[in-house]
């Protein structure tokens, strides 16, 4: 059974003709899932083309999810479904309510243009490395949240540079990669400046910053503001049911600490927005109603997703800062 056909005078590159031959063979049911493709050397000899040309075709089929490779044995048909020209590898740090908004916007923007596989590294460098190493060559684009993982940049650089997009957090080591990111230093600073008149009613600001997964730029923006405008302040790593000091505004990136502070306020019979204040990070539907409304600093995660997908399909290579805003509610 002849699988491949090549037109030497065609304007279509030879590797693309090989890819199309496999697709046609699948449509005509001449090959099926699990079948082995001819070896690289066999195709080279049959058509008098270079090994690199055949390898390029097989790797393209691999990226599309049509074939898979077994080391030392060859290439096999993995799927007979090939309606997608693109397969995207998406690596998030974790899934929460606002990251779910981001993922949903990516899905909506992509529609039927590509197939997406999503993974989570949970701020674990070993898991980050494993997922990326296992994905190499299987996808046409790699959308990655490196967060603040030390060593993530070196792992990312093992992927084809033109296929990688950085999401949410970036750093100087990844400055050459296209990205849609949050500027945490500026976002924190500008939000506090916008809230300055309300903050003036309070005696001090406390940032609860564990430093595990939260971006360090938050601390820098917080300290820049408190220094520039002479606000009494502290940065603490945990709350853990401490006594709430009246006249304090708590800036809280972590929702677990947000719950702890609200619970402690109830135990002390304190009035949120009067006796003390709260500014939380990342807006959710629940924060609109909890305790009559929690003030938040939040980027637009839906816009982030749409911007990223537009960048990919327009082949734009840029570093785009996603907009952030302060949403003032009763907690301040």
Q: Would you list the DSSP string of 138-203? A: S-SEEEE--TT-TTHHHHHTTS-GGGEEEEE---GGGTTS-EEE--HHHHHHHHHHHTHHHHTTSS
**How many percent of the chain have pLDDT more than 90?**
76
Give the tens place of pLDDT for each residue, 304-313: 999 999 999 8
What tokens does 125 get?
């460098």
| Cα–Cα separations (whole angstroms), residue 92 to 3, 128, 141 | 40, 10, 14
Q: What number is the average pLDDT over the span 312-332? A: 95
What tokens does 220 get?
């820098």
pLDDT for 83 equals 57
pLDDT for 82 equals 61
Q: Is the pLDDT of residue 84 over 70?
A: no
Please state, as a whole number, how many other Cβ atoms lie within 10 Å of the Cβ of residue 267: 10
Task: Name the residue with higher pLDDT: 85 or 195.
Answer: 195
Length of the chain: 332
Gap between the Cα atoms of 37 and 31, Å rounded: 9
Q: What is the pTM of this model?
A: 0.79
């Amino acid at each position: 059974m002849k699988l491949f056909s090549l037109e030497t005078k065609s304007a279509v590159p030879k590797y693309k003709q090989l890819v199309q031959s496999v697709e046609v063979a699948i449509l005509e049911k001449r090959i099926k899932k699990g079948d082995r493709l001819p070896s690289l050397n066999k195709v080279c000899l049959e058509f008098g083309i270079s090994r690199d040309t055949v390898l390029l075709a097989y790797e393209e089929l691999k990226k599309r999810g049509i074939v898979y490779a077994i080391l030392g044995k060859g290439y096999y048909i993995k799927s007979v479904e090939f309606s997608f020209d693109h397969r995207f590898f998406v690596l998030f740090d974790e899934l929460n309510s606002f990251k779910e908004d981001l993922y949903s916007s990516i899905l909506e923007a992509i529609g039927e243009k590509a197939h997406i596989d999503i993974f989570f590294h949970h701020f674990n460098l070993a898991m980050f490395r494993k997922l990326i190493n296992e994905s190499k060559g299987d996808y046409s684009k790699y959308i990655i949240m490196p967060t603040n993982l030390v060593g993530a940049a070196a792992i990312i650089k093992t992927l084809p540079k033109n296929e990688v997009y950085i999401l949410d957090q970036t750093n100087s080591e990844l400055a050459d990669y296209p990205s849609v990111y949050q500027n945490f230093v500026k976002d924190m600073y500008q939000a506090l400046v916008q809230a300055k008149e309300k903050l003036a009613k309070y005696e001090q600001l406390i940032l609860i910053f564990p430093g595990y997964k939260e971006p360090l730029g938050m601390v820098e923006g917080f300290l820049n503001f408190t220094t520039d405008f002479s606000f009494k302040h502290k940065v603490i790593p945990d709350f853990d049911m401490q006594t709430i000091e009246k006249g304090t505004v708590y800036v809280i990136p972590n929702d677990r600490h947000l719950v702890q502070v609200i619970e402690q306020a109830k135990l002390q019979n304190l009035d949120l927005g009067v006796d003390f204040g709260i500014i939380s990070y990342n807006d959710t539907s629940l924060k609109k109603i909890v305790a009559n409304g929690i003030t938040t600093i939040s980027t637009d995660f839906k816009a982030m997703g749409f911007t990223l997908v537009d960048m990919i399909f327009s082949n734009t290579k840029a570093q785009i800062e996603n907009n952030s805003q302060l949403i003032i509610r009763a907690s301040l």
